[in-house]
Chain A
Amino acid sequence: MQRSLRLAPKLLTGVIALAMLAMASAQTITFWHTYSTGSGEEQTMLNEVIPRFQEEHPGITVEAVGFPYDEFRQKLLTAFAGGVVPDLVRMDIIWVPEFAEMGALERLDGYEGFEALRDGVFPGPLATNYWDGGYFGLPLDTNTQVMLYNANEITDPPATIDELIALAQEKSDPAADVWTFAVPGPWAWYFLPWIWSNGGAITDEAITQASGYLNGEATVAAVEQLVELYESGLIAPTINNSGIGSWEGLGAGTYLATQDGPWAHPSIAAQYPDIDLQHAPFPAGKAGSISIVGGEDIVMFADSRNKDAAWTFLQFLLSPWAQSTMATTGQIPVIESALQDPFIVEHPYYGIYLEQLQTAKPRTPHPAYSRIEVAIQDAVQLVMLGDKTAQEALDEAAAAVDALLR
């Protein structure tokens, strides 16, 4: 009795030590994302990808938190300002330079296995992570926009913008609430493909100035063309932020075609099973069919306290298995080995997106991009409203963007 009592404190200490050891090796990393609640991608991430990762790495628990896209940037800014940050974030590619410049992101160049990952991803999406001499993230998924059309109404999708105009002249009838094409809104994400396909540009290659490019001949002509199409009723009023949404319009037969990303088809097809939704490359302009690169990068916050565990999960997310699994939900993979993946090869429409991605351009990878985008969007909206001519509005925008690039 006496001896066991003397052993008790030692046993207790031993148990506590073991418990602390167990806790120390059981790390929890927080992973913030914007997968829509209940969507296929969210369910797959939560029910397949993360559990498999946790099986393979028993000491690490991944806590995934979803946010609506609209408030995500502010959420991240608030987290950074307060110093209470997530470990990993699936971040829109356009914010990465901004957060890198603020010092919010961890530079990944030095991590073990980085080179292998860097060399295995597509160069276009990879470039969105580069800032100030280093990489502050890696691509996670990519996407672009192509033309979606209702095959019940359009048998032969237009391959060029001119063909689209001819088709619109035949089929658009504003009085009967029918428009051949709907550009979903006066936002850069939607009208930049039009500008680029017509040979326009925002800045020079080195991203030092906008004058001569944003207000250059080709860009002005592209914007004027869009306005002309809108005012003559050939394309839907959505380009002027009016009218019903592009998806609803497709379903109702109000719009015969639109432009959107790979997430659109599953949702539209589910909601409107009566239309025959098909994909085609973005109509080509003078400079070809040039769409816009979208997607998300996976970044690590510099204030993270679980960097090694986070890096392990990051590597897992870029593994062929994880990329293929997420590909089944509309998340186009970024690793080059995916091009041989049978799922991708046999997919009804991923091929079109991957082909479009070969020529797609990214938005200006600059920390001030949020403000640059506002300047460009303001200009196009002013022209849509008829308040300014395209040249005037774009001249002003070019001056504003020049100031931002300095």
Chain B
Amino acid sequence: MARYPLASTVETSGRQVRKRPRLSAWKRSEYLAAALFIAPGLIWFLAFMLYPLFYSLWMSLHDWQIRGPSEFVGLANYARVFADKVNLIALRNTIVYGLLSVPAQMLLGLLIALGLEQLSRGKVVLRLVYYLPVISSWVVVSLMFMFLFNSEGLFNYVFGDVLGLVNPQTSWLNRASTALPVIALLGVWKGLGWSMLIYLAALQSVPVELQEAARVDGANRAQVTRFVTVPLLRPTTLFIAVMLTIGAFQSFIQFYIMTGGGPVHQTEVFLSYMYNLAFNFLDFGYASSIAWMLALLILAISLVQFRLIKSTYEY
């Protein structure tokens, strides 16, 4: 049994350590200190994460009223999730947005990280430049893009009036077929700095010896990257893929601000629909059931990603 000196024995050296049947004052104070450090975070977690989580589950089983008694409706809200056509549109839009934005962010992030690795100067500045969009406000950049792609906006002016590549009167945000790529463009612009940063950090941990060994074996730079570096980055790629997909499924602000989910739900995503249902129509029970179904969906997709991307061997 380890012996911990009591504070008193430290000050007045020579005193014998008491044998104790229970925790020494020191050990107790250690545990107390630990508890005090954890307590704020734990309380915050319980109050603002766990409690709302289970309360929303409760809400999804009721026809929840903001004041007064709520009627228990069982799984009726969940049944409604499957019957509601808008959820299908939201699913379509979310998948398209995910397909358009996630691979692009990963690929561009990786390419920029690889490129930055090679740079001898300007690394820090360029890193900052690419990362700035990540920390910018979603609301501000959504408004910015909304003005850029207004039918009288800068994009139509440059690519329509000046370059003649598109119809200068195009109303980009009016239909899903044109709005989704625009919103995905915003997502990619805003997010690629994040994957770049993660990849940059991961590239530091790629063993140089393996790359040098490949060079010695006659591989050129591209081949080294493709056959040695990128496979070694697999755990990072999995992490980024899962995080970005979760993010794509939870995208809200850009849709809510740029199109409001409209017209007529054509650019609706799960979160914008939920938000309208809850705060405009006061249909909190149904909105909560959509939230839980979305959570299950994201979980399922993440599990699939784990299976597909996770490497079977470690280095």
Residues of A within 8 A of B (CB): 74, 77, 80-81, 83, 102-104, 174, 177, 186, 237, 240-244, 370-371, 374, 378, 381-382, 384-385, 387
Contact = CB atoms under 8 A, between A and B. Distances in A.
Contacts of A371: 281
Nearest to B264: A378
Contacts of A370: 280-281
A242 B263 contact: no
A361 B279 CA distance: 28
Interface residues of B, number: 19
Contacts of B264: 378, 381-382, 385, 387
A251 B275 CA distance: 36
Given A74-B279, A77-B282, A371-B281, A240 B174 contact: yes
A237 B152 CA distance: 10
Contacts of B5: none
Given A81-B67, A242-B150, A243-B151, A174 B169 contact: yes
A371 B277 CA distance: 10
A81 B175 CA distance: 36
B66 interface: yes
B66 A80 contact: yes
A385 B67 contact: no
Contact of B262 (A83, A104, A381): A381
Given A177-B152, A385-B264, 16 more contacts: A74-B279, A80-B66, A81-B67, A102-B67, A103-B67, A103-B68, A186-B263, A240-B174, A241-B171, A241-B174, A242-B151, A242-B173, A243-B151, A243-B152, A370-B280, A374-B280
Nearest to A387: B264
The secondary-structure label for the interface of chain A is helix
A155 B169 CA distance: 29
Contacts of A174: 169
A104 B68 CA distance: 12
7 contacts: A240-B171, A241-B262, A242-B171, A242-B173, A381-B264, A385-B175, A385-B264
Interface in B258-304: 262-265, 279-282
A103 B171 CA distance: 43
A378 B282 CA distance: 19
A348 B68 CA distance: 50
Nearest to B172: A242
A385 B151 CA distance: 15
A370 B279 CA distance: 11
A81 B66 contact: yes
A242 B174 contact: yes
A370 B150 CA distance: 27
Contacts of B171: 237, 240-243
B150 A243 contact: yes
A113 to B, nearest CB: 30
A217 B169 CA distance: 33
B177 to A, nearest CB: 11
Nearest to B151: A242
Interface in B132-172: 150-152, 169, 171
The 3 A-B pairs of least Cβ separation, nearest first, read A242-B171, A81-B66, A381-B263
A382 B175 CA distance: 11
A301 B264 CA distance: 34
Contacts of A382: 263-264
Most buried by A among B175, B263, B280, B282: B263
Contacts of B279: 74, 77
Nearest to A252: B152
Q: Which one of B175, B262, B264, B280 has the greatest number of beta carbons of chain A within 10 Å?
A: B264
Contacts of B265: 378
Nearest to A238: B151
B166 to A, nearest CB: 14
B263 A385 contact: yes
A100 to B, nearest CB: 14
B152 A244 contact: yes
A174 B262 CA distance: 25
B250 to A, nearest CB: 21
Given A244-B150, A385-B263, A77 B66 contact: yes
Residue of B66, B68, B150 with most chain A CB atoms under a 10 A cut-off:
B66
Nearest to B147: A244
B169 A237 contact: yes
B65 to A, nearest CB: 9
Contacts of B68: 103
Nearest to A81: B66
A103 B65 CA distance: 12
A86 to B, nearest CB: 16
Contacts of B173: 241-242
A83 B169 CA distance: 49
Contacts of B281: 370-371
A397 B298 CA distance: 34
A304 to B, nearest CB: 15
Contacts of A77: 66, 279, 282
A207 to B, nearest CB: 19
Contacts of A83: 67
B70 to A, nearest CB: 12
Given A77-B282, A174-B169, A385-B174, A241 B263 contact: yes
A387 B262 CA distance: 13
A370 B171 CA distance: 27
Given A186-B263, A378-B264, A80 B67 contact: yes
Contacts of B175: 385
Contacts of B67: 80-81, 83, 102-104
Contacts of A104: 67
A83 B67 CA distance: 9
Nearest to A249: B152
A81 B280 CA distance: 14
Contacts of A374: 280
Contacts of B150: 242-244
Nearest to B283: A371
A373 B51 CA distance: 35
